[in-house]
């Protein structure tokens, strides 16, 4: 019998975001997305997670000697964030990263990284082995050719990691479009129809005030 993985929903109380190695020296090698699209997706994911109040853990690898710093649009989106710089291939293998993840107190971990099949996949698979539930935001995780992308996605699924796009994960956490954070989340994700959501909310507020007058 095939086991179907269908975990309980993500919430603002049970989830954390882990962003791995979105660095200037790596992102320029990405081939499955344009650099601009990948940056857009990563920044949107980071901003939405921040708007939802999720713990965010960020890392780089050998920033001073190999791959450079995190790309500036991401550091601008998370101006107070501490990027843990390490040398281990698997981010989880650095004790500071593991400690930060465990200190979040969350059991559902959303990973994104460059590259998908290493930076995102390795710690996500380790998280599953450690008893966490792991998700990978695949559209915030670029890689260097289609073979790496296809085999990386297969390995994630084989390992019990949930794969999804980042916006869907954030909207699952949002859960209710009536909450105050909704506008900030949709604006962060910068979806084409985000402005429409704001207009609908504003129109409903006006109609509500008219009924009360």
Q: Does residue 134 contact residue 128 with C-beta atoms inside 8 Å? A: yes
What percentage of the chain carries pLDDT values higher than 70?
Answer: 88
pLDDT of residue 46: 98
> Is 119 a known active-site residue?
yes
pLDDT value at 146 more than 70: yes
pTM score over 0.85 = yes
pLDDT value at 1 more than 80: no
Is residue 122 one of the residues assigned to a domain?
A: yes
pLDDT of residue 37: 96
Is residue 146 one of the residues assigned to a domain?
A: yes
Tokens of 159: 């390992």
Q: Average pLDDT of 139-163?
A: 97
209: pLDDT confidence band, cut at 50, 70 and 90?
low
CATH of the domain at 72: 3.40.50.850
Q: What are phi and psi of 150, to 5 degrees?
A: -65, -45
Q: Does residue 109 contact residue 143 with C-beta atoms inside 8 Å? A: no
> What is the average pLDDT score of the chain?
93
How many angstroms separate the CA atoms of 178 and 170, rounded? 15
pLDDT of residue 147: 97
Helix (H) or strand (E) holding 86: strand 83-86
Neighbouring residues of 207: CB distance < 8 A, sequence distance ≥ 6 = none
Is residue 155 one of the residues assigned to a domain?
A: yes
Is residue 197 one of the residues assigned to a domain?
A: no
Catalytically annotated residue among 10, 18, 114, 119:
119
What is the domain extent for residue 21? 15-177
Report pLDDT digits (tens) over 167-191. Answer: 999 999 999 999 999 999 999 999 7
Q: Does residue 60 contact residue 87 with C-beta atoms inside 8 Å? A: no
What total number of domains does the chain contain? 1
Cis amide leading into 115 (omega within 30): yes
Neighbouring residues of 199: CB distance < 8 A, sequence distance ≥ 6 = none
4: pLDDT confidence band, cut at 50, 70 and 90?
confident
Is residue 25 one of the residues assigned to a domain?
A: yes
Is residue 153 one of the residues assigned to a domain?
A: yes
Is residue 189 one of the residues assigned to a domain?
A: no
Q: Does residue 23 contact residue 61 with C-beta atoms inside 8 Å? A: yes
Q: Average pLDDT of 54-71?
A: 97
pLDDT of residue 18: 98
pLDDT value at 192 more than 70: no
Cis amide leading into 83 (omega within 30): no
Report pLDDT digits (tens) over 34-60. Answer: 999 999 999 999 999 999 999 999 999
């Amino acid at each position: 019998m095939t086991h179907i993985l269908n975990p309980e929903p993500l919430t603002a109380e049970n989830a954390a975001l882990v962003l791995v190695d979105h660095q200037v020296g790596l992102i320029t090698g990405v081939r499955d997305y344009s650099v601009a699209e990948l940056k857009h997706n990563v920044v949107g994911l980071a901003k939405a997670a921040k708007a939802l109040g999720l713990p965010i853990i960020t890392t780089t690898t050998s920033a001073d000697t190999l791959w450079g710093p995190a790309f500036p649009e991401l550091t601008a989106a998370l101006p107070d964030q501490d990027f843990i710089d390490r040398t281990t291939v698997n981010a989880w293998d650095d004790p500071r990263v593991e400690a930060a993840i465990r200190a979040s107190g969350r059991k559902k971990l959303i990973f994104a990284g460059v590259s998908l099949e290493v930076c995102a996949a390795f710690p996500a698979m380790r998280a599953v082995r450690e008893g966490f539930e792991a998700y990978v935001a695949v559209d915030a995780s670029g890689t260097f050719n289609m073979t790496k992308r296809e085999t990386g996605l297969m390995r994630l699924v084989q390992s019990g990691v949930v794969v999804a796009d980042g916006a869907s994960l954030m909207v699952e956490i949002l859960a209710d479009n009536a909450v105050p954070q909704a506008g900030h989340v949709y604006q962060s994700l910068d979806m084409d129809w985000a402005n429409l959501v704001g207009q609908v909310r504003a129109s409903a507020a006006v109609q509500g005030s008219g009924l009360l007058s």
